[in-house]
């Protein structure tokens, strides 16, 4: 239906997560209508990301430098390690401005459905770091795979570094959440983890 060059761009946009035919068309037609320099800048950004971006060898976060900006910051508390699934989670947590420890990015979760085993997550590095820390906060999502990974990490850390405190982020009603809209698992967690006021 469309000229080959436009069709190819539509297909590239379709590969993005959650993008269907109509949306990909809309994106590609916007590119077709904007100045060449803008498309060039977009193309450069795509290539730069692949050339520069890599995982921080210390914590697994994404970085353009030798180590990531958090690991480079002297004032961050190396005694507290916040374990997350991906770099996106680091960014979400940093936005709260409430945490001054460091991170450990697993870049995946143990998953029977996706065939991801504990061996695939480079957990030796985490154990190594945990040995020098006071606390490891497990902050994987409260999904099936997230909970599986959290349980596995808890057991592993208690075995390999028994002196470190292992904690899990709280489960409960989200801010603004209404009781009658919450599912049973959320509600039973909210009851179990209740605190004295």
Backbone angles phi, psi at 104, to 5 degrees: -135, 115
CB of 57 to a copy of itself, least distance (A): 14
Closer by beta carbon to a copy of itself, 6 or else 151: 6
Residue of 8, 66, 77, 193 that binds a copy of itself (CB under 8 A): 8
Instruction: Check if the beta carbon of residue 150 is closer than 8 Å to that of residue 140.
Output: yes
Residue among 37 and 163 whose Cβ is closer to a copy of itself: 37
Minimum CB separation from a copy of itself for residue 9, in Å? 4
Distances (CA, A) of 67 to 1, 42, 49: 47, 26, 16
**Considering beta carbons, is residue 37 or 184 the nearer one to a copy of itself?**
37
Least distance in Å: CB of 35 to a copy of itself?
Answer: 8
As a whole number of angstroms, the longest Cα–Cα distance in the chain is: 66
- In angstroms, rounded to a whole number, what is the distance separating the alpha carbons of residues 197 and 182? 22
The least CB distance from residue 3 to a copy of itself, in Å, is 4
86 sits near a copy of itself (criterion: CB under 8 A): yes
Beta-carbon contacts of 14 under 8 Å, excluding residues fewer than 6 positions away, are 20, 21, 24
Instruction: Using CB under 8 A, count the residues that bind a copy of itself.
Output: 52
Burial category of 81 from C-beta neighbours within 10 Å (exposed 0-12, middle 13-18, buried 19 and up): buried
From the list 74, 82, 91, 115, which residue makes contact with a copy of itself (rule: CB under 8 A)? 91
Considering the complex, state which of residue 42 and residue 131 has its C-beta at the smaller distance from a copy of itself.
Answer: 42
Rounded to an integer, what distance in angstroms lies between the CA atom of residue 58 and that of residue 60? 6
- The reply to whether 9 sits near a copy of itself by the rule CB under 8 A is yes
- Please give the Cα distance from 81 to 134 (Å, whole number): 8
Record the tokens describing residue 132, joined without a space: 């020098």
Q: In the range 12-71, which residues lie near a copy of itself by CB under 8 A? A: 12, 15-18, 23, 25-32, 36, 38-53, 62-65, 68-69
Shortest reach from residue 48's CB to a copy of itself, in Å: 5
Cβ 28 vs Cβ 6: under 8 Å: yes
Applying CB under 8 A, which residues contact a copy of itself? Answer: 1-6, 8-9, 11-12, 15-18, 23, 25-32, 36, 38-53, 62-65, 68-69, 86-88, 91, 94-95
């Amino acid at each position: 239906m469309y000229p080959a060059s436009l069709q190819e761009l539509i297909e590239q946009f379709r590969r993005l997560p959650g993008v269907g035919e109509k949306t990909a068309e809309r994106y590609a037609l916007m590119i077709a209508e904007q100045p060449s320099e803008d498309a060039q800048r977009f193309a450069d950004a795509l290539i730069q990301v692949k050339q520069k971006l890599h995982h921080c060898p210390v914590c697994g976060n994404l970085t353009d430098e030798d180590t990531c900006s958090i690991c480079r910051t002297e004032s961050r508390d190396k005694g507290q390690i916040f374990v997350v699934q991906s770099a996106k989670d680091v960014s979400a947590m940093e936005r709260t401005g409430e945490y001054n420890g460091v991170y450990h990015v697993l870049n995946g979760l143990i998953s029977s459905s996706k065939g991801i085993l504990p061996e695939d997550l480079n957990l030796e590095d985490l154990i190594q770091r945990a040995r020098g820390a006071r606390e490891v906060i497990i902050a994987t999502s409260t999904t099936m795979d997230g909970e599986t990974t959290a349980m596995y990490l808890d057991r592993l850390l208690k075995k390999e570094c028994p002196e470190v405190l292992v904690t899990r982020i709280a489960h409960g009603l989200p801010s603004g959440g209404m009781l009658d809209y919450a599912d049973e698992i959320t509600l039973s967690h909210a009851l179990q983890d209740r605190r004295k006021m």
